[in-house]
């Protein structure tokens, strides 16, 4: 009974950490719309989209496969992973953040400085987040304290300042403070270095080089998953506010759903070989069920929540909400298949899926946004995510079939060995392999 209660608390922290982190931008939304209206929200939405895209690149795909690496590592190995990740991601962010700030400033019509600061701060906040490390270590409480709470606290300050009359610039300035506080708290809670060693910094370019395949996939994915607001700003400016008003809360909800794969990362990473296939199937089913429930809740609750979030300045029609809910479901399925590929050591296959999705998604996004506005853009994203999930599913099926074939061949060799009186261990020795 006591053990069950402890496990429930542990799972609750896995849910609470991303939930609190996702609340941070929600707390700022009413202050943004009340201070600067729909134009201010559109500028911030574009900046968050551009910054989110940059964060995906600067993060180097670390949370894709290194979470399970932390789960498997000992204390010394975890410390090395922390330093390597912090150094490599900060080096990448030092290039990506200014570029994203410039792009955001050029795309928006008003509030260019605020948009630049929000975009750059979003990149740095995401890249420096210690959540990946503490999730892999099975310490969701440390993730909550070091990652989620600093975001909420500082953005509450930003919301209060904007409500008191400060401009949108204060939002971006405080976002730049978040990564400093977050890494500092993580170093204290986790007894980790607040700054990477000189060796880790020198090794950062080499580490970035080893991440090229995964990074290429992550970079491509930003084109069709994180930049629709920016694309809409070019092909259908009037649709940006409605699209972002539906898309941003959905992605915040999707981040909360991340508690499930976060918990599964450690479970999958520590699985014995004989259990891995079953756990992969369970992970996909759980993500699909969670996505279905979340999609239904989104359609039912957003008509009530949206007027509060956006101060009644943005109207959300039912077709848009249904389209975004469908996108949420497909993204959940895709997330489950991606987890399976990582667990089977096939993380680089995700790049092929992302590439296929981008080839379909980018032109569909431009066409859908120009002809169908916000709904057209969302349907383009549904199509892109569906293609990506299908490609991942095909690779996953092939990998699982390969594992099943190897198990059958191994069992057959063991059976033949026993029939002829050969020790089974000889099958796995150097001589036993026929050399």
Query: Quick one: average pLDDT of 181-205?
Result: 89
Q: Which residue has the higher pLDDT, 260 or 156?
A: 156
pLDDT digits (tens, 9 = 90+) for 311-345: 667 778 899 999 999 999 999 999 999 888 887 87
Phi/psi class of residue 305: alpha, beta or left (left: φ > 0; alpha: ψ in -120 to 50)?
Answer: alpha
User: What is the number of domains present in the chain?
Assistant: 2
185: DSSP letter: H
Question: Are the CB atoms for 242 and 376 separated by under 8 Å?
Answer: no
Residues 204 and 247 in one domain: no
Residues 125 and 258 in one domain: no
Residues 188 and 49 in one domain: yes
Domain ends where: 164, 181, 210? Answer: 210
Whether the pTM exceeds 0.95: the reply is no
Whether residue 433 lies inside any domain: the answer is no
Q: Give the confidence band of 230 by pLDDT, cuts at 50, 70, 90.
A: confident
Residue 132: CB atoms within 10 Å: 24
425: DSSP letter: G
Of residues 17, 421, 50, 1, the one with CA closest to residue 234: 50
Helix axes 62-72, 259-269, angle to 10 degrees: 50
CA separation for the pair 46, 198 (Å, rounded): 36
Residues 124 and 144 in one domain: yes
pLDDT digits (tens, 9 = 90+) for 151-183: 888 988 988 888 887 788 888 899 999 999 999
Give me the domain span that covers residue 140.
7-210
């Amino acid at each position: 009974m006591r053990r069950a209660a402890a496990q429930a608390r542990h799972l609750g922290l896995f849910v609470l950490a991303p939930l609190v982190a996702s609340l941070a931008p929600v707390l700022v939304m009413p202050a943004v719309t009340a201070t600067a209206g729909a134009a201010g929200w559109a500028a911030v939405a574009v900046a968050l989209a551009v910054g989110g895209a940059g964060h995906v690149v600067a993060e180097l795909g670390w949370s894709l496969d290194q979470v399970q690496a932390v789960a498997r590592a000992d204390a010394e190995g975890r410390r090395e992973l922390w330093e390597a990740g912090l150094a490599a991601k900060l080096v990448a962010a030092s290039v990506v953040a200014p570029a994203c700030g410039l792009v955001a400033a050029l795309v928006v019509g008003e509030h260019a400085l605020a948009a630049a600061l929000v975009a750059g701060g979003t990149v740095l906040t995401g890249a420096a987040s210690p959540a990946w490390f503490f999730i892999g270590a099975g310490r969701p409480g440390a993730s909550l304290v070091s990652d989620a709470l600093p975001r909420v606290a500082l953005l509450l300050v930003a919301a209060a300042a904007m409500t008191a009359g400060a401009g949108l610039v204060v939002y971006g300035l405080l976002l730049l403070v978040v990564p400093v506080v977050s890494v500092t708290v993580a170093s204290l809670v986790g007894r980790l270095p607040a700054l990477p060693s000189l060796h880790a910094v020198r090794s950062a370019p080499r580490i970035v080089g080893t991440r090229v395949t995964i990074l290429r996939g992550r970079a491509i994915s930003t084109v069709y998953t994180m930049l629709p607001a920016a694309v809409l700003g070019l092909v259908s400016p009037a649709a940006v506010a409605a699209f972002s008003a539906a898309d941003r809360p959905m992605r915040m909800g999707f981040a909360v759903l991340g508690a499930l794969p976060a918990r599964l990362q450690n479970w999958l990473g520590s699985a014995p070989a004989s259990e891995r296939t079953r756990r992969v199937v369970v992970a996909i089913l759980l993500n699909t069920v969670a996505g279905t429930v979340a999609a239904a809740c989104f359609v039912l609750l957003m008509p009530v929540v949206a007027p509060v979030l956006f101060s009644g300045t943005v109207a959300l029609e039912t077709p848009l909400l249904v389209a975004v809910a469908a996108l949420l479901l497909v993204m959940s399925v895709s997330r489950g298949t991606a987890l399976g590929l990582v667990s089977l050591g096939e993380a680089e296959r995700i790049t092929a899926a992302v590439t296929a999705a981008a080839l379909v998604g980018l032109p569909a996004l431009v066409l859908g946004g120009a002809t169908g506005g916000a709904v057209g853009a969302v349907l383009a994203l549904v199509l892109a995510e569906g293609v990506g999930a299908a490609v991942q599913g095909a690779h996953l099926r092939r990998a699982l079939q390969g594992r099943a074939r190897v198990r059958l061949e191994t069992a057959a060799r063991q059976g033949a060995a026993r029939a002829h009186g050969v020790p089974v261990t000889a099958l796995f020795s150097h001589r036993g392999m026929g050399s």
